[in-house]
Amino acid sequence: MSVAASLIATTMNASTPLLLAALGILVAERSGVLNLGVEGIMLMSAVCAYMATVETGSFAAGFIFAIVIGIAFALFFAIFAVGLRANQQASGLGVAIFGGGLSAYIGVAYQGAVLPERSADGIWLLDQIPFFGQAFFSQHWIVYLSLLMIPAIWYFLFKTRPGLVIRAVGESPSSANALGYNVPLIRCAALAFSGACIGLSGAYLSLIYTPLWVEGMVAGRGWIALALVTFGTWRPLRVFLGAYLFGGMTMIQMNLQSIGISIPPQFISMAPYAATIIVLALLSRNPTWIRMNMPASLGKPFIPH
Q: Which of 76, 88, 93, 45 is nearest to 198 (CA)?
A: 45
pLDDT digits (tens, 9 = 90+) for 287-297: 666 667 889 99
Measured in degrees and rounded to the nearest 5, phi and psi for residue 25 equal -60, -40
Q: What is the pLDDT of residue 261?
A: 66
pTM, whole model, 2 decimals?
0.92
Residues making up the chain, counted from first to last: 305
pLDDT digits (tens, 9 = 90+) for 220-251: 899 999 989 988 889 999 999 989 988 887 77
User: From CA 180, how far away is CA 279, in angstroms rounded?
Assistant: 39
Give yes or no for a contact between 20 and 204, defined as CB atoms under 8 angstroms apart: yes
Q: What is the DSSP letter of 206?
A: I
Q: What is the pLDDT of residue 231?
A: 84
Largest Cα separation within the chain, whole Å, is 65
Domain parsing of the chain, residue ranges: 2-114+129-293
The 10 Å Cβ neighbour count of residue 47 is 30
Fold of the 2-114+129-293 domain? ABC transporter involved in vitamin B12 uptake, BtuC (1.10.3470)
Q: What is the pLDDT of residue 256?
A: 65
Q: Which residues lie below 8 Å from residue 113, measured CB to CB, with a gap of 6+?
A: 50, 54, 213
Q: What is the pLDDT of residue 268?
A: 66
The residues of the chain scoring below 50 in pLDDT are: none
Q: Which of 95, 89, 77, 74 is nearest to 300 (CA)?
A: 89
CA dihedral 51, 55, 59, 63 (to 10 degrees): -40
Q: What is the pLDDT of residue 259?
A: 63
The dihedral through the CA atoms of 83, 87, 90, 180 has a sign that is positive
User: From CA 88, how far away is CA 56, in angstroms rounded?
Assistant: 37
